[in-house]
Each structure stands twice: as structure tokens, then as C-alpha cells.
Amino acid sequence: MKNILCFGDSNTYGFSPDWVKGNFGRHAASVRWTGRLQELLGDEYRIIEEGLSGRTTVFEDPTMPDLSGLPYFRPCLKSHMPLDLVIIMLGTNDTKGFFNARPVEIAMGLARLIQIAKDPATYMGMKVPKILVAVPVPIGEAALSLPDGITTMEMIEKSRGLAPEYRKIAKMYGCEFIDLGEVAKTADYEGVHLDAEGHKAVAEAYAAKIREIFE
């Protein structure tokens, strides 16, 4: 069995865009891309869901604690090993204005996580897993009208600018790479989170990529 850890933010957690309609909650496990991926890949794989709404690569959110991926990442890897593949799908929250981070700097945060994931000392003698760098689906312009007032056009542009920087980092560290912006989009009426169709598209893209990795 191949063990696959999915380390991400609210779009791995499965936060529903329906919050804008007053329905706060999470997509069902069968709707989330992780659940769909498990179904697509079957019993030869174990999909481990590690999503947290608001999670960044390495930045500390001044408004909410515990959202930096950095301090939790190594313990997370240790708690789930042995691992065959680690998917890192982060970066959307790093575009927030108070971080003042350009796409290249967000990619440097991603690189810090990759260094931990590739460190043999992390795994206490067990094998070092493959790493799949995933570019999150970019923020849509519908997010400019959200009632929380957080999203700006600069954030949207940064989210669109992550792909080339992430590709460079993946190549530098010998990681696998996937750009989810090529296969899916956020909910038309909300712009930040994936609806059921988005989760389906992401799961299908991951399934194809994972089969390619383990051929």
C-alpha cells in the first residue's frame, strides 16, 4: 500500500464556499478531493488528509495563531510515516496583504517545507518519500465582493503568479509538480474555495499524476 500525505489549507480541509449563503461548513468526505482521490486510486493507496483552514507555508498570521505550516510539518510527517508521497498544496493564504510576500518569497516558504520533507533525519531510518508540489487553484475575482473584505486584486494576481515560482522550486529540489490552476477553478460565486465540481477536477488531476509517479 502507498501512503500519501496531503498537506494543505482550507481547500484540503474541504471548507465549503456556501458560507457566503449563510451555510458554514465542510464538504462531505465523499465530496472532498481527498475522499474522491481515495475512491479513484482504490485500496492500493491510503490518502491521509491534513488540511487546515488559513494555513500558510511559513508565515505567522497576526490575527490567528497556529496557522503556519512550518512548526507542525515535521511532527505531522513523523506521525504518519512511513510515507511514499507527500503532497504540499499551500500558498493561497500567503498572498494576504499583511504578509507582504511576493510569489517568489511564498515559493521560498514552500522550499523550507520541502527541505524538511526531504530530510532523512525526519523519518528516523524509514524511507524518504517523494514530494509533489501542487500550485493551488488561483483566487477568482468573485472574492473581491466577499463580505469579509479581505481579498484584494493584489492577492489574486499573486495567486496567479505562484505557478512559475513553484515550478522553479520543484525543479531545484527534484520534486514532482502539478499546476491545479490548469484543471480547476474556485466557485464562481465565492472565488476562494472549491465547489463539488472543483474538488472532482482536482481529484482526477491528482489521480492521473500519482499513477504517473508510481508507474
> Cell match 487553484: residue?
137
Nearest Cα to 193, choosing from 16, 12, 7, 6? Answer: 16
Q: Over 90: is that where the pLDDT of 18 sits? A: yes
Chain-centroid distance, C-alpha 157: 18
Residue 40 scores a pLDDT above 90: yes
pLDDT for 115-173, tens place per residue? 999 999 999 999 999 999 999 999 999 999 999 999 999 999 999 999 999 999 999 99
Q: Specify the fold of 2-213.
A: Rossmann fold (3.40.50)
What count of other Cβ atoms lies within 10 Å of the Cβ of residue 194? 29
- Domain range annotation of the chain: 2-213
Percent of the chain with pLDDT over 90: 97
Given a contact cutoff of 8 angstroms between Cβ atoms, the answer to whether 18 and 99 are in contact is no
pTM of the model: 0.97
* Residue 215 predicted with pLDDT over 90: no
Is 59:101 a contact under the CB 8 Å cutoff? Answer: yes
Query: What integer pLDDT is reported at residue 17 of this predicted model?
Result: 97
**Do 146 and 194 touch, CB atoms closer than 8 A?**
no
Q: Across-strand partners of 21?
A: none
| pLDDT, tens digit, 9 for 90 and up, residues 63-112 | 999 999 999 999 999 999 999 999 999 999 999 999 999 999 999 999 99
